[in-house]
Structures are given as C-alpha cells and as structure tokens.
Structure 1
Amino acid sequence: MIQVDVNTKQQSYPIRIGTGLLAKPENYAPLKANDKVMIVTNPTVAKHYLDTVTQALTQLGCQVDSVLLPDGEEYKTLESVNLIFTALLEKKHSRDSVIIALGGGVIGDMAGFAAASYQRGIRFMQIPTTLLAQVDSSVGGKTGVNHQLGKNMIGAFHQPIAVIIDTNTLYTLKKREFCSGLAEVIKYGAILDLPFFEWLEQNMADLMALKQTALQYCIQRCCQLKADIVAKDETEQGERALLNFGHTFGHAIESHLGYGQWLHGEAVAVGMLEAAVLSSLLGDLTQQDVARIEKLLIQAVLPTGSPETMQATDYLAYMQRDKKVIAGKLRLILLKQLGQAYISSDITQQQIIDSITHCSQSAITTYNANEC
C-alpha cells in the first residue's frame, strides 16, 4: 500500500492507494468501533462494492446504514442531496456520525456537501471508484452540486478524514469513464510537472491496459501534486486555481449540452486543448507543445474539438458565470510552457472565440460520446 498525506488547516488526512483495500477493516482508520456510518452510493457502484465495504465496517464494529442516489451527472442536484439528509434523519444520525462517499466524483461531491451541511458539519470519508475521482475530486475538500445555469455553483470546502483508493475498482469501470479520468491525469502534467507529462507520453498504453504498476504510480503522483497545492491554498485563493486548467471551457460545454451528455473529463479535454491553443496564440506555448497535448488526448480516446451542436460564441455566457470570475473579470488558466501554468485576467472575448474556433476546425475526428 502507498500513502500520500494531505495537510491543511482544516484537516490532515491520509490517502491510501493499493489493491484489495476495501475488504480490510484496518484501512478504514480513523473510524473505530461504535461509529455510526452512512454510506452514500448509487446502484451501479453498490452492486460491486457496497457489501464489501459494509462487511469491513461491521467487522470494525461500526453501525452501518446506506442510501442509494440516482446515477449520473444530471442528478448532481440539491434534490439528490436532500435524499441523503432524509436518510440521515430517518436513521437518527447525529453530529458524531460519519458519511462515506462510495463512488465517483458525483457521489463524492454530493456526499461531501451533505457532510458539510448536516448539523453544520460532520465527518466524511472518500472511497473513490473512478479514475477521475481517485486522481482529483476525492482529494482537497471541494464539495457541491450543479445548477442549471452553472456547474458546481453551490457547495462548500469540507475536507475528508481519509481517502481510500482501491485500484481494483478500475476493472469494473467502463472504458469511457476511465478515459474521462485520464483528462485530469494529463492536466497535472501539463500545468505542474513536465517529467510526469513525459512519463505519460511513454506509458499511456500501460495505463489504457490497466497495468497495476502504472496505475498506482500515476494515481500516487496526481494525488501528491494535488496535496501539495491544497496544503498551500486550501480554499482556492491563489495557486489552487491552476488546477482548473481547461475547466472554464469544459464547464461551458457541460452546461450547454446538459449535464451527463458528455462526461466531465471529455469536456475538460477539449477545454485544455482550447486553453493550450489560446496560450499559443498569445505567444507562450509552442505549436509543437500544443500538438503534444493533442496527441496525448487522442491516445486517451478523448475529444479535441467542440460538440457539433455548439458554436464558439455559445461558450461566452457560461464562462461569464463561472466561479472564477472576480470583479467582472474572467480568470483563465493558461500555459507559459508545458509544466508551467499561470492565471490570466486579460483575455478578450475575441481571443477566446479564436482559440475555440481553431480547435474545432483542426479536430482530427468528430467525437461521438455514444461510440466510446
């Protein structure tokens, strides 16, 4: 087992990475006998892992309840979070209870938001079962839900007490979901770590083949990079915003299409390439480096151009409502070079449109999410 530690002002906690972790009671520390636990999951994940987690917690001496939420990004809503509150109240959970998020990023975000809100805040633990959640959303304490006018606009920062990453869960993940997670993996190399980006160029085939050595190194490196940033900037007042590379463009795609039509990583993949092209148009990133990002996205079976039903101008309204707008100015994460990102507040609407148009015109193939 590999462990990465996250140290923030709100909470210090371990990220445990390995195979077969879910069946072993000792991996659920700091939970202990007599803790009252509510597992939040969905039917897809529950059929694979709910019994295993429940049995391990029962062996530990915990009292275990569970609630199943609808599966999909389109259900990442206040209505779904209210199902968690109802289950907690019906089972008489109190301030010393613990919520466990068992699932992907949607489950993790909603369970964490419920934990941040229930009785003004209770403990929670993350057990991410998708690659995207394992490398990104389960770490750092961002929680929340979507609104029809914008993604993740309602939420709170609430750190978990532990993250348990069992890489065996990736064997039951659909290929499309796995590839979606690779977008966030590529992001870390592009913005923070050129040697890791180069490692991805050499090892993408092993990741796609789900080879454990490659998977565990990849997840460990992503978690360490994020842990380092979160420790410096827990509530995204500065450097943590770099982790949003490609996300402002990507969130516009998700909001325009309707949540769940494209997966988060698919939209972020396009957003990263659009941000990279914009960086090139500004004279920072070379065209060769843009091509390297595009090649890696294609190897990960991810899209590189806007949805056919979306025009460049369609992005603008969504981007102006983004959480990263401050004092009326949109902040975008751009690249000085591969492995070095920065925050810009001086980008014009025409520059945004030009970068989107360039990507769509140069996309090698039309992306059909239903064929993945």
Structure 2
Amino acid sequence: MSKRDYYEVLGVARNVGAEDLKKAYRRCAMKHHPDRNPGDAAAEAAFKECKEAYEVLADPNRRRMYDQHGHAAFEHGMGGRGGPGGPGGYSDMGDIFGDIFGDIFGGGAGGRGPRRGADIGYVMELSLEEAVGGVEKEIQVPTLDECDTCDGTGSDDGKLETCATCGGRGQVRFQRGIFSMQQGCPHCGGRGQIIANPCGDCHGQGRIENVKNLQVKIPAGVDNGDRIRLSGEGEAGPAGAPPGDLYVDVRVREHEIFRREGDDLHCDVPIRLGQAALGDVTRVPTLGGEVELRIPAETQTGKVFRLRDKGVKSVRSRHPGDLYCRVVVETPVNLTAEQRELLEKLEATFIGEGARKHSPRSSTFIDGVKGFWDRMTS
C-alpha cells in the first residue's frame, strides 16, 4: 500500500513553519499514542505514521529532499541517512517523542521509570456575568483514576519480578548499522520490573475508568480563550506514576446586550427622535446596575458615549475598562392619528430654502450626489 503524503498525515500546508509543524505533530501523536489507545493496532499504526512524517519534515535537509522527490527520496539510499524508521534513520518511538512530549508525559521512552499521567482538557461555558464576576462550578470529567484496590501499583499482592527482557536495567541496547543505541525497555516500560500477579480490578494497569467530580473556581475577569490549570487533576499515571493536569478552557457565551473587547464593553442604546433632537437623560444598564446617560440636543444616530470604569476588571489588569454606548435613533412606529398629524406639521416646517440648515448630513449627501452626476454627464 502506498504511503500517504507527509503533509496530509499531519494536516498542515506545504509551507508550514517549524513551530506550527511541531504543534500539529503534538496533536497527532497525543491522539494516537499507544498509552491512550491500549491494544488498538490502528492507533499505533497512525502514531508511527505521524511520527515518521514529523521526523522527515522537521529536518530541513530531509524536508527539502522530500519536497523534490516525495517518498522516493528515501528509497535506494537517496536519503543519505536512511529512510524514516529504517537503517541509519531514527528509532521506533523513543527519540523525538521524548523531546517533544517530555513536559506532558514526564520524560521520553528512553528515560527510566513510568511516565506521568496524561493531561486532560475541559471546555467550560460561562455567561458574561459569570466570567466578569467569577464563579465556582462543579464539573464532571471522564478520566483514568488510580485503582483503589491496588493503590495504583497494578499488583494484586505487591510482588514484582525482574524484567527478563532488560535484566532489570530498564534499557535495551540494539544495533543500527555501525551505531549502538539504547532506549527504554518496551516490555517493562523502562521500570526494570514487571508485575507478578496483576490486580483483578485494573488488570495490572494501576488505573480504572472513572468520572471525577471537581469544584472549579473561576477567578473574576476571565475572558474567552483563557485557560485554568488544575495541577494533578488529570489522568492517573501508570504503575503509581504522578497524575497529569487538568486544563479548563473558558468559553464565554454571547450576551444579549453587551459585547466585550478586552477590558471594555460596548452596547447599543435606542433613543427616540425627540430625545435625540431636544436632548434628554436616559438610563443605561451596566454590569453593576443602571446609570444615567446624558444625551445632548441634536445628537445623531451612531454617536458613541464613553462611561469610564464601567467595563471589566480582568484578571490581568488593576483597573476596569470603560463602557461605550452607541446611540441609535429609532423611527417611531404604530403612530396614533394625533401623533401622525403632529409629525406631518413638523415635517412641513422643513420644506423650503431654510430646510438645509436642519439636516446637515442630508444636505452634504445631496450635494455629493449632484456632484457625482455632474461628473458622470460632463
């Protein structure tokens, strides 16, 4: 079966930069890693495929050759260092995986001792009021918890045996051409020992599937996209290794009145025609209650008024932002006969030579239209 394009495997464009390439590999490897998909042959194959793709594309020389010749660049000795995973190339799972994921899994496969548990992500939706004021919420997170029966050891009786594959060293040595290399023992996972009598509840894994209930305190002022880390609340580590972390990603729902931009809030304030023409004082909502907004006479629709310190005090700032109120002049509807008559009388006063002074924007628009047509017909 022919190999898939390496860029397609990682889901990136051919001009992807080194940093985005690394992020794409992290996503692919975390999704298909054997620790997260025990016994899944398809996941293991996908993991090896994305690892192979990254090994080539992360190396500028090998990437250049791949861009020119495709997979043929590493056949029949063209690659110089050997094809991905072949003689002279990289080893199976223990090299770049350890470099990139050491901070997540507690060290690469070449290190001695069990890896820490995987990190977990959780998306929490909040209202604007909850995000601004802070809130404490209970969440349920599916995870792998430490087995209570064996206290996470995976052993029914606590007895361990020396690994026959590595002789208790946790490392195995192998030959690649003229080079002698070593990596973590695949049989014991680098621990040097194996479980003699596996626990009946967790089958020697030291972990069981569970739903964890947690109280999460969201600080006041968080915004959409903020992330909160709960140390040690991720998946339990294998064979008693330390647990991973839980990352709560904040998503703030759209608000029916306010729109947040950084520490500032924005809203539209509808006013009547008479209020805009004569001026008035109206009340507008804020997250702390209603306040007065003074509308000057002859205010035009779209005018923005700034209310200082009526915005949001974020988790990163000492002072709250501002509230920006954009007034929108509403056209009256459902008029009574009396109201219609009064408006008709008012409208009649705007007809004639003196009408232009009452509608400056309309006059400017009309002059612009006339100038446009004069240029078109000249």
- Please give the range of the TM-score, normalised by the shorter of the 2 chains: under 0.3
Query: Which has a greater percent of strand?
Result: 2
Give the number of the structure with larger relative contact order, counting CA–CA contacts within 8 Å between residues 6 or more apart.
Answer: 1
Query: Which has a greater percent of helix?
Result: 1
Give TM-score, length-normalised by structure 1: 0.21
